[in-house]
Amino acid sequence: MNDSGKSPRPAGLVLTLLFGALFAALGAAVNAGATMRADDFIRAAVHDWASPALTWAANAASFIGGTPVICGALAAAVLLLWSTGDRRASLRLTAVMAAALAIDLATKYGFQRIRPEPFFGTEPDSFSFPSGHALFAVAFFVTLLLVVPGRFRAARTNVFAWSVVLFLVTAIGLSRIYLGVHYPSDVAGGYLAGGVAIAAVSTVLDRIDFAQPS
């Protein structure tokens, strides 16, 4: 039920505004073409490291961050959380991913940035900014850890879990640059947009009480 006596946690509002402001500033720079020199430089530098092994790894990371895997993992996580009685965690994860999808669609069609020429594979049909892979990787993997803190009580396990998430999110973002299907600023925008989705949903849901089954 709604608890009118509760107010959003300041940290949630601050993070929402911070990530939102950074994303807006980056979007304005992208729109003005101010990121192109850095984008082209980083793309060329990354491509200089190209090798068959790295191409395989990039394709694997991109696959992990793709729609089929993320959607499958989301469905499994939501069902598991709900079946174990953690309805708040299940709702939070679902809401964050729904917010991420809304942000992805709105900003892609808002900016309508044309994709760069890919280095490997074919050019995706969607617009380039922000990177959906980066956005959904942050939204899903980071939120998954945030909603299940009780499962990572040991400090060493916590550090390991966050290290894995950081590696996955970074690898997925870098894979999109390596394959040439995104500019680096697209990936940065995806990370920031994922932060907006997490912070904004957390700010809203922190105002709601959920009755947990006994």
Average pLDDT, the chain: 90
Query: Tens digit of pLDDT for each residue in 127-145?
Result: 999 999 999 999 999 999 9
| pTM for this model (two decimals) | 0.89
Closest-CA residue to 198 (of 14, 7, 15): 15
CA 97/CA 59 separation, integer angstroms: 23
Query: Tens digit of pLDDT for each residue in 68-95?
Result: 999 999 999 999 999 988 888 999 999 9
CA 142/CA 170 separation, integer angstroms: 12
CA 3/CA 209 separation, integer angstroms: 7
Contacts of residue 208, Cβ cutoff 8 Å, sequence gap at least 6? 1, 2, 3
Helices (H), 35-183: 36-47, 52-64, 67-83, 87-111, 132-137, 143-147, 155-178
- Domains of the chain in sequence order: 10-205 (1.20.144)
